[in-house]
């Protein structure tokens, strides 16, 4: 099964082409603004580099956020249009899950994904090492997140980098017991990447858990966006 994966929840526009469990090509592009025209061009170039045409793609995977409203809308609308026009299978994955999956082989007790949501807030979620959720998807302050972590916790995401000093100081100030420790993922894992999205999407596709292109929506946690994903 050929899968085209797109992750547009951050300024790191990421796309990948995979065949079953094999990653064929991927590309990460840092940009201030993700445009539909540049996205289509990037998809075409990536498929061409694999000697594939779009007709050969069996399924599409897309990151659902939470993240940048505009970038998410462009990415998802592109995938929805493809799905509606071609009847290709579509799978949407929470971008926080993608970040957690990338570091799930680390030897820690839990993973805490922290993404900068601006306005002094973060998007966050805490995971067991099998990637099951210990919390819901959160829009909150970093101080609230720190009341929920336990044991040896791996922090990942651009918010973990942004608030690293505050996280370290909180652990010291609270005098957490010796079994509690904050560790930080390498900055190369700060943004969700399509190559990791492809792995999660394949599992969903094998289980035949597809999304309807007519009804799939991004994960919005801010009240004014008023679109919070189901899980």
Domains 2-95+192-206 and 104-184 share a fold: yes
- DSSP codes of every residue in 124-150: EEEE-TTS-BSS--EEE-HHHHHTT--
Q: How far, in Å, CA of 27 to CA of 13, rounded?
A: 8
Domain limits, the chain? 2-95+192-206, 104-184
Residue 231 reports pLDDT greater than 60: no
**2-42 pLDDT, tens per residue?**
999 999 999 889 999 999 999 999 999 887 776 777 888 89
**33-81 pLDDT, tens per residue?**
767 778 888 999 999 999 999 999 999 999 999 998 888 999 999 999 9
Q: Can you read off the two tokens belonging to residue 124? A: 């966050």
Q: CA torsion angle for 197, 199, 201, 203 (degrees, to 10)?
A: -150
**162-204 pLDDT, tens per residue?**
999 999 999 888 765 556 899 999 999 999 999 999 999 999 9
Residue 125 reports pLDDT greater than 60: yes
The answer for residues whose C-beta is within 8 angstroms of residue 176's C-beta and 6 or more apart is: none
DSSP 21: T
- pLDDT of amino acid 77: 93
| Sequence-separated contacts (24+) of 183-186 with Cβ below 8 Å | 183/106, 183/108, 183/152, 183/153, 183/154, 183/155, 184/154, 184/155, 184/156, 184/160, 185/102, 185/103, 185/106, 185/154, 185/155, 185/156, 185/160
- pLDDT of amino acid 200: 98
pLDDT band at 112 (very low <50, low <70, confident <90, very high): very high
Token match 């998807």: residue? 137
What's phi and psi for 142, nearest 5 deg?
Answer: -60, -30
The dihedral sign for the CA sequence 185, 46, 16, 65: positive
Query: Rounded mean pLDDT of the chain?
Result: 92
Mean pLDDT calculated for residue range 99-125 = 96
pLDDT band at 94 (very low <50, low <70, confident <90, very high): very high
- pLDDT of amino acid 179: 67
CATH of domain 2-95+192-206: 3.30.420.40
Note whether 175 and 200 are within 8 A (CB).
Answer: no
Fold classification of 104-184 is Nucleotidyltransferase; domain 5 (3.30.420)
- pLDDT of amino acid 38: 80
pTM, two decimal places: 0.92
- pLDDT of amino acid 224: 57
């Amino acid at each position: 099964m050929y899968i085209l994966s797109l992750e547009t929840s951050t300024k790191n526009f990421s796309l990948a082409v995979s065949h079953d469990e094999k990653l064929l090509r991927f590309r990460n592009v840092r940009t201030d603004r993700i445009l539909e025209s540049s996205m289509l061009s990037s998809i075409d170039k990536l498929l061409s580099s694999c000697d594939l045409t779009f007709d050969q793609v069996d399924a599409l995977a897309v990151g659902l956020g939470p993240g940048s409203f505009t970038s998410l809308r462009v990415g998802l609308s592109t995938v929805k249009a493809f799905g509606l026009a071609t009847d290709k299978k579509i799978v949407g994955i929470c971008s926080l899950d993608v970040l957690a999956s990338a570091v799930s082989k680390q030897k820690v007790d839990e993973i805490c994904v922290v993404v900068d949501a601006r306005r002094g807030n973060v998007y966050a979620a805490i995971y067991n090492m099998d990637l099951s959720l210990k919390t819901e998807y959160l829009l909150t302050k970093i101080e609230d997140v720190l009341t929920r972590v336990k044991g040896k916790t791996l922090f990942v995401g651009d918010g973990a980098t942004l608030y690293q000093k505050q996280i370290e100081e909180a652990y010291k100030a609270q005098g957490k017991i010796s079994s509690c420790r904050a560790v930080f993922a390498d900055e190369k894992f700060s943004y969700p990447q399509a190559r990791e999205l492809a792995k999660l999407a394949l599992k969903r596709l094998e289980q035949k858990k597809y999304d309807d292109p007519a009804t799939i929506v991004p994960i919005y946690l801010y009240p004014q966006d008023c679109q919070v994903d189901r899980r």
